[in-house]
């Protein structure tokens, strides 16, 4: 038997196919042990993809422990190391050590890892580490180089054909932070709104998309994953104050403010919309919000507990301002006082992003 440490489906699907061809007489068992992956939703997403890939290849899969705290302790002090540096040595060692122990426990004399398939990892570094940890368990580390002779190209063709989830960072919070810094992009993977609303291109949205995709596959529905460039949005904080007190308020999606804080007054009202004297801020009442989206929220806490869909907020915005490109702050305010000054504090990011969609063919 060969125990295969698995990191992700893009690396494992092709690797396992080749391994089966090379070792037809051996039983192959997968072991998903990757406590380095952060956040946890991303871990679930990668695991889901690996589970589906192993099912297709008829390979048994064991899930290891997600002992993230232990992993963090081990890499402590190496947070700012670059990829392929000392933190990665520790990370490989940990994952391979636990995998080697698992192999011994299962009575397997051999261990390998799908990390060997990743073009972003050093093959030699992994081989050396694998051989060292396996020596301690008196088992053999197998390091087949399937990247050679066009293997990497074939791997990507396979991943596309199989519609595998293609993550765009190695896995840990540190690599994610560095990558997003170099891309001058916020690490939106780390956002988790208190309302639990599913945000565009969030891990939760991807999980739901991949679950749907597998359902379609099982039902034989012909489908494709297409990519779309769009303007994404994340709210860091947003609230309204009056006379030093925080009011019950809710900023609609795509509300932005240049300086993160401004004073304003209500100066006009046209039908149900209150216009102000600053930064194109618009105020609407909770009743009007309920009316245009067909809900019955009693207060703002109610919205937070059971938020509308992100897309519903966009529809509400388009009913208030007839402009698809509007970035004006639109704030739902529970109690509207026409007199006096308000303070809006709002910090939001808009940025270019790419998301995946499912398209079905009849
Ligand atoms: S960059 Fe990748 S290999 Fe290196 S420590 Fe982070 S998750 Fe592990």
Over 255-275, what HEC string results? CCCCCCEEEECEEEEECCEEE
Residue 225 main-chain phi, psi, to 5 deg: -100, 125
Q: What are the tens digits of pLDDT across the range 272-305?
A: 999 999 999 999 999 999 999 999 999 999 999 9
Q: Are 310 and 196 in contact (CB under 8 A)?
A: no
Q: Is the pLDDT of residue 135 over 80?
A: yes
Residue with the nearest Cα to atom 4 of ligand 1? 88
Domain with CATH 3.40.50.620 in the chain: 2-182
**How high is the pLDDT of residue 120?**
83
Residue 189 and residue 231: Cα distance in Å, rounded?
Answer: 16
Q: Which residues line ligand 1 (CB under 6 A)?
A: 36, 83, 87-88, 91, 170-172, 174-175
Residue 133 DSSP symbol: H
**How high is the pLDDT of residue 33?**
98
**How high is the pLDDT of residue 355?**
95
Q: Which atom of ligand 1 is the closest one to the Cα of 75? A: 5
Q: Which atom of ligand 1 is the closest one to the Cα of 115? A: 3
Q: What are the tens digits of pLDDT across the range 86-131?
A: 999 999 999 999 999 999 999 999 999 999 999 888 899 899 999 9
Residue 13 and residue 164: Cα distance in Å, rounded?
Answer: 9
**Would you give the distance in Å from CA 360 to the centre of its chain?**
23
Placement of tokens 């039983």 in the chain: 27
Q: What are the tens digits of pLDDT across the range 306-325?
A: 999 999 999 999 999 988 78
CA of 121 to the centre of ligand 1 (A): 9
Q: Which two tokens stand for residue 288?
A: 């009007």
Mutate to test the pocket of ligand 1, among 76, 88, 118 (most ligand atoms within 8 A of CB): 88
Q: Which residues of 65-77 are buried (b: 16+ CB within 10 A; e: fewer)?
A: ebebeebbebbee
Mutate to test the pocket of ligand 1, among 38, 42, 70, 87 (most ligand atoms within 8 A of CB): 87
For residue 154, give Cα distances in angstroms to 4, 56, 163: 20, 18, 14
Q: Is the pLDDT of residue 362 over 80?
A: no
* DSSP strands (E only) in the chain: 2-6, 28-32, 60-63, 110-113, 140-141, 223-242, 245-246, 249-251, 261-264, 266-270, 273-276, 282-285, 330-333, 342-360
* Confidence class for position 143, pLDDT limits 50, 70, 90: very high
CA of 197 to the centre of ligand 1 (A): 29
The CATH class for the domain spanning 2-182 reads: alpha beta
* DSSP strands (E only) in 117-260: 140-141, 223-242, 245-246, 249-251
């Amino acid at each position: 038997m060969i125990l295969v440490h698995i990191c992700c489906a893009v690396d494992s699907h092709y690797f396992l196919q080749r391994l089966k061809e090379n070792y037809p007489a051996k039983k192959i068992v997968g072991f998903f042990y990757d406590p380095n992956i952060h956040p946890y939703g991303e871990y679930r997403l990668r695991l889901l993809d690996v589970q589906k890939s192993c099912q297709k290849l008829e390979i048994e899969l064991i899930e290891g422990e997600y002992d993230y705290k232990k992993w963090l302790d081990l890499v402590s002090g190496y947070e700012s190391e670059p990829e392929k540096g000392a933190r990665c040595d520790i990370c490989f060692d940990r994952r391979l050590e636990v995998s080697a122990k698992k192999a011994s426990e299962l009575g397997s004399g051999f261990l390998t890892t799908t990390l060997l398939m990743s073009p972003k990892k050093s093959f030699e570094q992994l081989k050396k580490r694998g051989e060292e940890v396996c020596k301690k368990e008196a088992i053999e580390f197998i390091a087949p180089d399937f990247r050679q002779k066009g293997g990497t190209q074939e791997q990507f063709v396979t991943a596309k054909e199989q519609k595998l989830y293609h993550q765009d960072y190695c896995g840990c919070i540190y690599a994610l932070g560095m990558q997003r810094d170099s891309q001058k992009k916020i690490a939106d993977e780390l956002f988790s709104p208190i309302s639990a609303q599913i945000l565009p291109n969030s891990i939760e949205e991807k999980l739901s998309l991949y679950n749907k995709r597998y359902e379609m596959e099982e039902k034989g529905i012909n489908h494709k994953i297409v990519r779309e460039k769009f303007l994404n949005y994340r709210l860091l904080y947003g609230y309204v104050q009056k006379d030093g007190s925080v009011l019950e308020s809710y900023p609609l999606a795509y509300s932005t403010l240049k300086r993160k804080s401004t004073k304003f007054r209500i100066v006009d009202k046209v039908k149900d919309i209150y216009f102000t004297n600053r930064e194109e801020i618009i105020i609407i009442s909770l009743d009007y919000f309920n009316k245009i989206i067909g809900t019955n929220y009693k207060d703002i806490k109610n919205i937070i507990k059971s938020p509308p869909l992100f897309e519903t907020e966009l529809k509400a915005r388009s009913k208030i301002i007839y402009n698809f490109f509007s970035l004006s702050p639109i704030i739902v305010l529970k109690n509207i006082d026409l007199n006096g000054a308000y303070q809006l504090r709002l910090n939001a990011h808009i940025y270019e992003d790419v998301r995946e969609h499912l398209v079905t063919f009849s």
